[in-house]
Amino acid sequence: MQQWTLTETIEKLQQKKISSVELVKKALAAAQKQEYLNAIITLTSEQALAQAKEADKNRATGSCSFLGGIPVALKDIFLTTDVRTTCASKILNNFIATYDSTAVKKLSEAGGISIGKLNMDEFAMGSSNENSSFGLVKNPWSFDRSPGGSSGGSAAAVAAGIVFGSLGTDTGGSIRQPASFSGVVGIKPTYGRVSRFGVVAFASSLDQVGVLARTVSDAAVLLQAISGHDVHDATSSPMPVPNYSRSIESGVKALRIGVPKEYFSTGLQPEVAQAIEAAIQLYQKLGATIVEISLPHTDYAISAYYVICTAEASANLARYDGARYGLSLGREQGLASMYEKTRDAGFGAEVKRRIILGTYVLAAGYYDAYYKKASQVRTLLAQDFAQAFQQCDVILGPTTPTTAFKLGEKLTDPLQMYLGDVFTVSCNLAGLPGLSLPCGFDRQNLPIGMQLLGKHFDEPTLFRVARAYERETRWHHTHPPLFSGI
């Protein structure tokens, strides 16, 4: 069999050239074979097979929904009632939710079949997927490298061909950076586009649900399934959802692509710079106008981001107190002991670091210097983008300064790890949509990612620009040796 994309496989299913049960069995087999990647925390074989049978039955009677029984997988941050949600944390070990997250519900209604819950950095805090109480995830391209984080499992499972697509969350690059490191497509839509209801919160004003897939068109189809207003999320947008596939093949003629000069300063790996330069030339050839733009406050984005996300996290994670669910220790010795022992044993080092940092930046006497200042920077960054988008339709740059780093390399230096998020965090701070797609390989055969940033709710242009590049290149058809796609 060929290596079908999700969009192709939907057609094959409709033509009855393959069944959902066959697809799910293949996915489960691949998951087991590649268990060593550690991309999956909980494999849900039985549920997935049962749903596949149901999907096949429905197809036979003509009542099949549009994804029609395609195997996918979920970052273990999405609440599911039939299987535990761990958020890769000991504090939620064996926690079974009493309700399903809206995104999962929508994906399931559209006919997506989840084969399991994917590994991640604990509470989505990290850029390497090394902060997981279930162990690190390996990059399918090179086992001693990080697949990126925090949606490392989501990226690795797609890159390894286990599933056609996966759900992830992106707070400061957690979909785009692993997509870049693992050589897949990842999109974080506009803040408010996908409901956050039932998604374990890290930093509420930045968290956004998105998808990872092998191709741009696949990502468009998956995002279509989960987008839309949700009455359970006051920050979700009532804007109608356009058809993401309709104009996807329209090309880039007459489109203006902005290239921020600040994204090409020092610290960029030369091969990454070359790959992006080549992409710019290709776009020019395809008829786009390249505009040099400036995002002058880029240098402050990382600091502002780590102040705001830790502040929000310090409050969001206060609910894990051992009183109602999840891990609970030290109850016998009283209240203070319950709090201390539960939270000490339940949270990993990075989560504790961020809770402490966040508590500090909100403390009386420090609030103005940190949280308030960061909020002001956030406004300035949003203004940068608003001005830039008067000159261009989409912004292009590298997703990350380097390709995938070695596992363990930055674990002892959190600041170095944080600095790697320089190109991805602004997009979250401004609430804009961002997409990463493969645009080449470095000398060590590690994938390079290109990032496209769009105007609020202008996902259609992102898909269209990304697809125009993808159509002319073969990167998305280049898979790691272990790839077990269909």
Partner 1 sequence: MIEFEAVIGLEVHAQLSTQTKLFCGCSTAFGAPPNSQTCPVCLALPGALPVPNEKAVEYAVMAALALDCDIQAISEWSRKNYFYPDLPKGYQITQFDKPYALGGGVEITGEKQTTRKIELVRIHMEEDAGKNIHSENGDYSLIDFNRASVPLIEIVSQPQLRTPEEAAQYLRRLRQILVSIGVCDGNMEQGSFRCDANVSIRPRGEKKLGTRVELKNINSFKFVTQAIHFEIVRQEQVITSGQSVVQETRLWDSNAKLSKSMRRKEEADDYRYFPDPDLPLLLIDSAFIDQLRRHLPELPQKKLARFVSEMGLSHYDAQILTDDHEVAQFFEQAMLHYHAPKTLANLLISQVMGWMNAHDQIINKIKIAPKDLASLAKKIDADEISGKIAKEILTEILQTGESPEQVMAKKDLIQIKDTSLIEAAAKKIIADNPKQHEQYQAGKIAVFGYFVGQLMKATQGKANPGLANEILKKLLDEK
Q: Does 356 bind partner 1 (CB under 8 A)?
A: no
- Which of 150, 166, 217, 236 is flagged as catalytic? 150
Cis peptide before 150 (omega within 30 of 0): yes
- What is the CA angle 14-83-315, rounded to 5? 115
Torsion angles phi and psi, residue 135, rounded to 5: 90, 165
Task: Write the interaction track for partner 1 spanning residues 128-147; mark x where CB under 8 A is met and - where it is not.
Answer: --------------------
* CB closer to partner 1 out of 329 and 482: 329
> In this complex, which beta carbon is closest to partner 1, that of residue 285 or of residue 331?
331
Q: Give the residue, chosen from 29, 60, 231, 349, that forms a contact with partner 1 under the rule CB under 8 A.
A: 231
Query: 192 with 431: CB under 8 angstroms?
Result: yes
Complex with partner 1: residue 98 or 390, whichever CB lies closer: 98
The residue among 21 and 317 lying less far from partner 1, judged by its C-beta, is 317
Name the one range near partner 1 by CB under 8 A: 41-49, 110-118, 173-181, 311-319.
Answer: 311-319
- The single-letter code of the amino acid at 125 is M
174 catalytically annotated? yes
Residue 171 and residue 165 in contact, taking contact as beta carbons nearer than 8 Å: no
Say whether residue 362 binds partner 1 (CB under 8 A).
yes
Least Cβ distance, residue 389 to partner 1 (angstroms): 23
E strands present in 218-357? 256-260, 289-293
Give the interface segment with partner 1, choosing from 26-34, 92-100, 141-149, 387-395 (CB under 8 A).
92-100
Rounded to a whole number of angstroms, the minimum distance from the CB of residue 161 to partner 1 is 30
Would you give the distance in Å from CA 299 to the centre of its chain? 23
Q: At CA 223, angle to CA 393 and CA 479, rounded to 5?
A: 90
Closest CA to 171 of 442, 1, 377, 418: 418
Q: How far apart, in whole angstroms, are the C-alpha atoms of residue 128 and residue 201?
A: 19
**Which residue, 311 or 437, is less far from partner 1 as judged by CB?**
311
CB burial of residue 312 (10 Å; 0-12, 13-18, 19+): buried
Given 45, 47, 204, 245, the residue binding partner 1 (CB under 8 A): 204
Q: Is 345 in the site for partner 1 (CB under 8 A)?
A: no
d(CA 317, CA 305): 18
By the rule CB under 8 A, 425 interacts with partner 1: no
Q: Which residues contact 282 (CB under 8 A, 6 or more apart)?
A: 469, 472, 473
Interface ranges with partner 1 (CB under 8 A): 79, 85, 87, 92, 95, 97-99, 101, 196-201, 203-205, 231-235, 311-312, 314-315, 317-319, 321, 323-325, 335, 339, 359, 362-364, 367, 371
Catalytic center residues = 75, 150, 174
